[in-house]
Structures are given as C-alpha cells and as structure tokens.
Chains A and B, each alone.
Chain A
Amino acid sequence: MHISFDHVSYIYQPNSPFEHRALEDLTFSIESGSFVAVIGHTGSGKSTLIQHLNGLLQPTEGVIHIGDYTLKAGEKNKHLRELREKVGVVFQYPEHQLFEETVAKDIAFGPQNFGVDQKEIDRRINEAVKATKLPEALLDRSPFDLSGGQMRRVAISGVLAMEPKVLVLDEPTAGLDPSGQKQIMDMFYDLHKEKELTTVLVTHSMEDALSYADYILIMNHGKLYREGTPLELFQQEDVLEAVQLDVPEVIAFLTKAKKEYGINLEYKGQSLAELAKELAHQLRGGSDHE
C-alpha cells in the first residue's frame, strides 16, 4: 500500500498550556512494497508519526493517504476499522499487551474482533507461529509462563494473524539479545519480501537501517530532516551527527581509516569478509590505481 503524508502536523493538547507540536509540516511518500526505516533521536517525533499510520492519532493539519484511505485534519474518519485491518503495528515491548489465558487465544484476539471465522483463524495462527518460530506445543500454555523472547514472538504472531498489508514496527527488537534481535529482524525481512508488504521500521539501530531498509526518513524536532537511500545518507557523517545520530559502525570505521591512516576504501554495501579482502589487498601495497 502506498503511503503519503501531505503537510501533516500534529499537536498534543492544542490550546492548553501543555500544547506541544510533535509533528510539523511533514510531507513524504512511501512506495508500496518498500522497506522504510524511520530514524531520529528520542523525542524526534518517530512514534507520533507511526501512530498516524493506523489512525490512532489524527493529523491536526494536513492529509494522509494510506492506500485508498484518507485521514484528514478536522474530519471524522469512518473507515478506521478497515484501515486497522490492513495496517499491523508492533509497538515497543508488545509483550506487555498480552492478556489472554493461552497463547492461541491471544493470537486469535485480533482476527476474532474483525469477525474472521474460526477455521480461518486456526489457519492463521498456524501460519503466524510458523513465521515467528514459536513451537506449536506452546499454543495451549499461558503466555505469562513463557520467556521474554517467546512472549515477544507471541505478540508479533498476534499482529501477523491479522494478515496486514502494511507492517509498522516500533523498535521491535529492543531488549532482546543479539541473536534474538537478528532472528526477529530476519523474520520481518523475509515476510516483507514473501508477502510483498510495505514495512515501516522505527529504529535506533543504524546497523538495522543499513541492513534492511531501501529508504530512510530522518526525523528531527518533529520535522523531516533528510530522506534518501541508506548509502546516500550514511556517507554524510556530519549531517547525521548534527541531529545526534551515528553512522553505522562499518562506515565510521572506514571514515577513520581514511582520515587518520590514509587507508582508502569506499563503502558500497560490501560484507565484512569482502571489506577485509580489499583492506588486506591495500595493505600489501596494492591499490585501485595500479
């Protein structure tokens, strides 16, 4: 689903002493089927932005298009239910939202609310737990008896069981160990490709933004600060640093190598093994200009 923001602003508690402009005049679009990372330091407006994607918040000014749906400032939106069926949101620490007696019931809760019949729900539960690699034996257990990592997978399964077209991920790997983080991100990436989803990932990990995203939006003080492909944006260390963001470590390393040690290697998305090979070649006195 194609997503576009047209001069969108959002103000928390307008006309009160607590008035706070969280989004300011945002205009951008997200191509259908793309994987977009939204980055920005804490408080830059990322979470406010994504809460508009399923109509949890309505713009104070401007218009948002999500597929055929329109969210417009000052208008009551009648089709939120349909929108929420299409846009699945994995919030931060989604396991805090588990509440049912069993894992299966928790996963079924979303589709049930939207009137999906039981047979179809069962099929979806099976598919969701397969995707998240939850052992089927856990389906009848209480979600509260599971480990943190497993609870996270249950919560994510619940979102997947809605079979959304747009997947919105708000720091989905926060608090997981490194191998758990990689598993979850790889899983989302596979689903993104397989189901041709439009994926919006809010992340603090520049490494994840570099590895998974086709396109990046950088937020700062509620405004769109920069947008572009990971390779374009991450080469500009000073631009990122100005808004308290880092470049991915591999790029920081290569920049330092060039500046302080005269080792000239351009980053074009190589793997570490490939970089090591090029680096070793240079150290032996070989260069690109032979």
Chain B
Amino acid sequence: MEERQVEFRNVSFRYQEDMPWVLKNVNFTIGPDEWVAIIGHNGSGKSTIAKLMNGLLFPQEGEVYVGGTKVNADTVWDVRKQVGMVFQNPDNQFVGTTVRDDVAFGMENHGMPRDLMVNRIQQSLKAVRMEKFERHEPHRLSGGQKQRIAIAGVLAVSPEFIILDEATAMLDPKGRKEIMQTVSDVQQERDLSLITITHDLQEVTMASRVIVMNGGEIWMEGSPRDVFSKKDHLTEIGLDTPFVSKMADHLKKEGVRLSREPLNHQELLEDLCISRSTM
C-alpha cells in the first residue's frame, strides 16, 4: 500500500450500541501533499472522521490506515506521531505553563533532543507569528493567540498529516486569514497533507479537494468548483455557498452569461468583463 496516505475502508462508527450510526460505510483516501476540506452540517460526522484518523476513536466496522499502518490500540502511539490535530476550542488543549513549554509538550512526548526542540519552538512560533510570546502564560492570551500556539505545537512535531478541526472558528477575520496563509505556506514548504474540517467557505476554496458529509455518509467529493456549482443541493443539506457563487446565480437569472463557476471575486469580475464586451 502507498505510504504516507490516510485511507478509510468501509468505516462505520457509532458512539453506543443503541445509538444511530454516526458514520456509515465511509471510503476515501487522502494522498501525500493533498489539501482536503471536509464540510457538512453539525452532526454530519465530520469531527468523528478526524477522531478516527488519530485513534481517539476506533471504528466498529471497517479499517482506518495511516501511512500504511492500521489504526488500533497497539499502533495508536505511532499513528499520533504522524497525525497532528488542532481542535476548535483553544482552552481545552493547553498543558504548559508558558507558551514555549506548551509548544514543547508534543516534542517532549516524542523524546526529541533539547537542541532540536529549542530550534523547533522558535521556528514554529515564528510560523504563526507568536515569536514574541515565548515566555507568556497561555491562559493570558486571547482565543486567537491561543489557537496559533496550538498550531505551533503541532507544527513543531512535524507530522505528515495535520487535521484542523474547525480550528479557525474562534479567530477574527484577519487572524483566520493569517492562520490559513501560514498553514498553506507550511503545506507547500514541507511534505504534509492537510485536512481541514470547516464551515468557512473561504477555507474550502483553498483546498484541492472537498469531501461533503451528510447524515454520516459521503454525499459528494470533488474540486471546490465542482462542489459549489451544485449549490442548490448544498443548501438542501444545510450548507451555505460562497458570496461569489450566490452572486453568480443571481446574475445568471438576470441573463448574464458566465463561463464557469467562480471561486473568488477576481474570477467573477473577469467573466463579467468578457460578457460586457459581448452583450
């Protein structure tokens, strides 16, 4: 099997035996250096997927493979070296008394030499623009700052997969953009796959592939452009579409011809200019 990929094979999961299935026969593969966004309404099974990827949960049916290794109780510690995870609420993921201790925590668990740790702490704090806060106490930071520290902690371990489980939900708009830019830079510089679980449509357009979850099943898989061109169906399952996508729809109703589903302002405006010259 291909190394450095995450694979779900016929995975089903439920929290208790008398509870409904949260995931039903889910199959997908995330390859090396891919950026995959997983979207879906609350309760569609997105976060459960994330927890199955690093062995916080194990499936009742089917198998999850990370880097060719089947995730189970025996392999979970190896798996977690490869899968870094950042959760939604920054207050629930702090252990260190200073920012540097906190960033070091993951590395300490993996027994890294001190010199390397010192180096990595500085590098990863710089990547999230928190280098000035090395000696600060985490609980005194704002929500957005805390989240950047959490991301730094994951970067420091240098995993092959990073899962951001609604990690930007609590950040302000500029903070969100910064984090996404940071994550995107890191993804390009280092060999790693990125899995973002998100409601933020801007984040979705940055991914190379989108998996849409609904009622515990994969409802659709495709490029952001493919997915957003099905906007009527997305609305049906409680999802939103980006502003440009809605604007494009209204324009089409007004008889304006567009050549493709726009993903950003630029694409829509370029299309409008072509249509202006031909109208």
Instruction: Take A204-B171, A261-B269, A283-B272 as given contacts and tell me if A178 and B238 are in contact as well, using a CB distance cutoff of 8 Å.
Output: yes
A272: shortest Cβ distance to chain B, in Å?
Answer: 5
Q: List which B88-112 residues lie within 8 A (CB) of chain A.
A: 88-89
Q: How many residues belonging to B are interface residues under a CB distance threshold of 8 Å?
A: 43
B132 interfacial by beta-carbon distance below 8 Å: no
CB pair B170–A41 under 8 Å, yes or no, is no
Q: Which of B225-279 contact A (CB under 8 A)?
A: 238-240, 243-244, 246-247, 250-251, 253-256, 265-266, 268-269, 272-273, 275-276, 279
Q: CB-nearest residue of chain A relative to B238?
A: A179
Query: Which of the four size classes fits the interface of chain A?
Result: 35 or more
Q: Determine which of A148, A171, A176, A253 lies in contact with B247 in the assembled complex, contact meaning CB atoms within 8 Å.
A: A253
Chain A positions within 8 Å of B25 at CB level = none
**B141 (CB) vs chain A CBs: closest residue:** A43
Once bound together, how far apart are the Cα atoms of A175 and B265, in whole Å? 26
Q: A256-B265, A257-B269, A283-B275 are in contact. Are A276 and B253 (CB under 8 A)?
A: yes
**When the two chains form their complex, are residues B172 and A279 in contact, meaning their CB atoms are under 8 A apart?**
no
A246 and B173 form a contact (CB under 8 A): yes
How far does the Cβ of B48 sit from chain A's closest Cβ, in whole Å? 12
Q: How far is the CA of A272 from the CA of B41 in the complex (A)?
A: 24
Does residue B153 face the partner (Cβ distance < 8 Å to A)? no
Contact residue among A42, A206, A280, A284 (Cβ-Cβ distance under 8 Å from B143): A42
Tell whether, in the assembled complex, residue A253 and residue B243 are in contact, meaning their CB atoms are under 8 Å apart: yes
A203 and chain B: residue at smallest CB distance: B172
A149-B43 in contact given A178-B238, A253-B247 (Cβ < 8 Å)? yes
Please indicate which of the listed interface residues A41, A178, A260, A261 has the most CB atoms of chain B within 10 Å of its own CB: A178
Q: Which residues of B contact A181 (CB under 8 A)?
A: 199
- Distance between Cα atoms of A258 and B145 in the complex (Å): 35
Does A180 make an interface contact (CB < 8 A)? yes
| Residue in A40, A180, A252, A275 whose CB lies within 8 Å of B42 | A180
A42–B144 touching, CB < 8 Å: yes
Known: A41-B174, A244-B174. A177 touches B247 (CB 8 A): no
User: Bound state CA distance, A253 and B250, in angstroms?
Assistant: 15
Q: A177 vs B144: C-alpha distance in the bound complex, in angstroms?
A: 20
Contacts of A175 in B (CB 8 A): 88, 166, 169-170
Complex interface: chain B residues within 8 A of A253 (CB): 243-244, 247, 265, 268
Give the docked Cα–Cα distance between A250 and B244 (Å).
Answer: 9
Q: Closest CB of chain B to A114's CB: distance in Å? A: 29
* Residues in chain A near residue B265, CB distance under 8 A: 252-253, 256
B contact residues around A275 at 8 Å (CB): 247, 250
Render B147-176 as a binary contact track against A, CB cut-off 8 A, 1 for contact: 000000000000000000010011111110
Sampled A-B contacts (22; CB under 8 Å): A43-B145, A92-B143, A147-B42, A148-B42, A149-B43, A175-B166, A175-B170, A178-B240, A180-B41, A244-B175, A252-B265, A256-B269, A261-B269, A275-B250, A276-B247, A276-B253, A279-B251, A280-B254, A280-B256, A283-B276, A283-B279, A285-B279
